[in-house]
Amino acid sequence: MSYLERVRRPADLRRLRGPELEVLAKEIREFLVTSVSRTGGHLGPNLGVVELTIALHRVFESPADHIVFDTGHQAYVHKLLTGRQDFSALRRRGGMSGYPSRAESDHDVVENSHASTALSWADGIARANKLRGLDRSVVAVVGDGALTGGMAWEAINNIADGQDRSLVIVVNDNGRSYAPTIGGLARHLDALRTLRSYEKVLDWGKRTLQRSGPPGRLAFEALHGMKKGIKDVVAPQGLFEDLGIKYVGPVDGHDLESLETALARAKGFGGPVIVHAITEKGRGYTPAEEDIVDRFHSVGAIHPETGLPVAPSRFGWTAVFAEEIVEIGRRRSDVVAMTAAMLAPVGLAPFAEEFPDRVVDVGIAEQHAATSAAGMAFAGLHPVVALYATFLNRAFDQVLMDVALHRAGVTFVLDRAGLTGEDGPSHNGMWDLALLRTVPGLRLAAPRDEQTLRSELNEAVAVEDAPTVLRYPKGALPDSLPALSRQGSVDVLARHGGIPRVLVVGVGVMAHTAVEVGDALDAQGIGSTVVDPRWVLPVSSDLVDLAGQHDLVVTVEDGLAANGVGSALRDALAQRKDVPDVPVRAHGIPHAFLDHASRNELVEGFALRGQDIARETASDVSALEESTTRQRTAERP
């Protein structure tokens, strides 16, 4: 039996000794590479925290002591050490979540996988422990990347005010989030990493003192003064300790003995302590160690020997945006690009390569990005802010009050909109349509294929007096879906039957599903018109006019059905007194947090396939016919 197989709970770790722990760390890395290469998942972050997680569980007594992982994608090792060693269905329906999950274990505290929140969680738990008289420790494991988020600094400001609360902040410093960590704090930490050698200089001074008497003593005193000067300039302990937070480190994050010593000191202090651990993302796996673009942060199925994908990725939505924004940048020198620590994942790396002075990576600070973009627009630029759709939630107030209120010409490009599936409830980009619908003046486009993405992006950056949004899903591009014609601002994709009775409205990529609905209705003898509004918010008068020409409207979207595009169209119809009162059936995502599963599984489960919607629509048409017949019968003299 391997050491890993013997560890079923954290207490089992405390029976192991130095060499045994080193073997355990090796076994964990081998397990991670083998398992994640089959299922996909966050490989690099977990390879980097093996020793750190072992040390945490040897020093602290989870679940009595609470360990909060910021973001949570580095919690695979934590899962292994708390009795969860079946990774066969990782991130798949019915299998283990890729993030901490309370449903899986009482060792898991925070399920949300948005960054920079762990310190606030830890502060709240520590305050509650104090008020309830509980002698427990709280540990927040936060990456240096997450410390670029403003919420983390709001928490630190409050944590510093609680000197009587046992709270340990472990800074897992690998110099990266999705990409190299940027900003002033990153430079601060980097300086400390590179200046650890000054301790060696001091050791030399001590040896000189012992060997040469007074001259050596003078040399040592001079060196000691140099050390103090260096630390005053670059070392972060000055920053944190001035706030009243004890600083320990930097510690080698792969040296178990050093880590345990530092964590034990922090635990015994009784107040807020920062333990600064230097780790290497992807440690122990040669393809990840040699990778310079961080391909192994999150992977699909890969060949474990080489790290290469089992199935090469098809040309996707992000790649189209990456190409088109470069073309726009060549034509317009006022266009600048912004992102929040995700330059490559959102497709801005080619733009940064060609226009390095016109790219801003603000770190994990979406709120700052939105308001800074408003400032850029005021000063004559047109910012394009590229984010994952789920992360725009964090900047909603800034979009509303700083961008829209000031009629700023800012374009937000939302990658991974709609159902993303395997990463679970916090990463599905399903909230944007319902949220942004409430923003006055905002215009939102949802492309259905490569060509509409390119054209709508160009239309978006041409708007200078209001925020614009472009949203598209994760993954490979669908087949091209050309329009039969354009009616005003609306693309007509298909017409069926002599007298179309149903208007089928497809939002973005769901236009392909809408076409399937029209085909299925045609097979049942029900006429329809299938359209793509292109710009879905606000609802255009052209779409309302079209709706009024049909007996039933069916909308299909990969956002919330409640308060989404279908709901907006229903409201727009109600406000138009010159258009018949046409019923609207909105098909979309239910108003709930979704368990992790593949996109196809979610689509099927929510009855969002073309055949499902067509079946329900046919039933609605029959009900309308019966209602009309009854009404006519009642009206006969």
- For the annotated binding site, the residues are 73, 113-115, 144-146, 174, 285, 366
CA–CA–CA angle 31, 36, 42 (5° rounding): 115
Instruction: Pick the closest to residue 225 from 257, 258, 190, 201 (CA basis).
Output: 201
The two structure tokens encoding residue 220: 């040592």
Contact yes or no for 148/179 (Cβ under 8 A) = no
What is the number of alpha carbons within 13 Å of residue 514 lying toward its C-beta? 34
Residue of 51, 260, 366, 450 with catalytic role:
366
Residue of 84, 281, 283, 358 with catalytic role:
281
Contact yes or no for 359/337 (Cβ under 8 A) = yes
- 587, β-bridge pairs: 556
Phi-psi region of 593 (alpha: psi -120 to 50; beta: other; left: phi over 0): beta
Alpha-carbon distance values, 547 to 519, 544, 583, 611, 613 (Å): 19, 5, 9, 22, 18
- 180, β-bridge pairs: 176
Distance CA 426, CA 422 (A): 10
Q: What is the residue whose two structure tokens read 């119809």?
A: 573
Length of the chain counted residue by residue? 637
What are the backbone dihedrals phi and psi of residue 628, each rounded to the nearest 5 degrees, phi first?
Answer: -65, -40
Residue 69 neighbours by CB under 8 Å, 6+ apart: 75, 78, 100, 110, 118, 141
Distance CA 446, CA 433 (A): 10
Residue 428 identity: N
Contact yes or no for 209/216 (Cβ under 8 A) = yes
DSSP-derived pairing of the beta strands 138-143 and 66-69: parallel
Q: Is the link from the previous residue into 250 a cis peptide, with omega within 30 of 0?
A: yes
Contact yes or no for 589/559 (Cβ under 8 A) = yes
- Please enumerate, by residue number, every residue annotated as part of a binding site for thiamine diphosphate: 73, 113-115, 145-146, 174, 285, 366
Distance CA 495, CA 476 (A): 27
Three state DSSP letters for 60-118: CCCCCCEEEECCCCCCHHHHHHCCCCCCCCCCCCCCCCCCCCCCCCCCCCCCCCCCCCH
Distance CA 586, CA 547 (A): 13
Residue 260 neighbours by CB under 8 Å, 6+ apart: 55, 58, 59
- Active site includes 394? yes
Contact yes or no for 146/364 (Cβ under 8 A) = yes
- Please enumerate, by residue number, every residue annotated as part of a binding site for Mg(2+): 144, 174
What element of type H or E holds 486? strand 485-487
Three state DSSP letters for 234-279: HCHHHHHHHHCCEEEEEEECCCHHHHHHHHHHHHHHCCCEEEEEEC
Distance CA 87, CA 162 (A): 39
Catalytic residues: 281, 366, 394
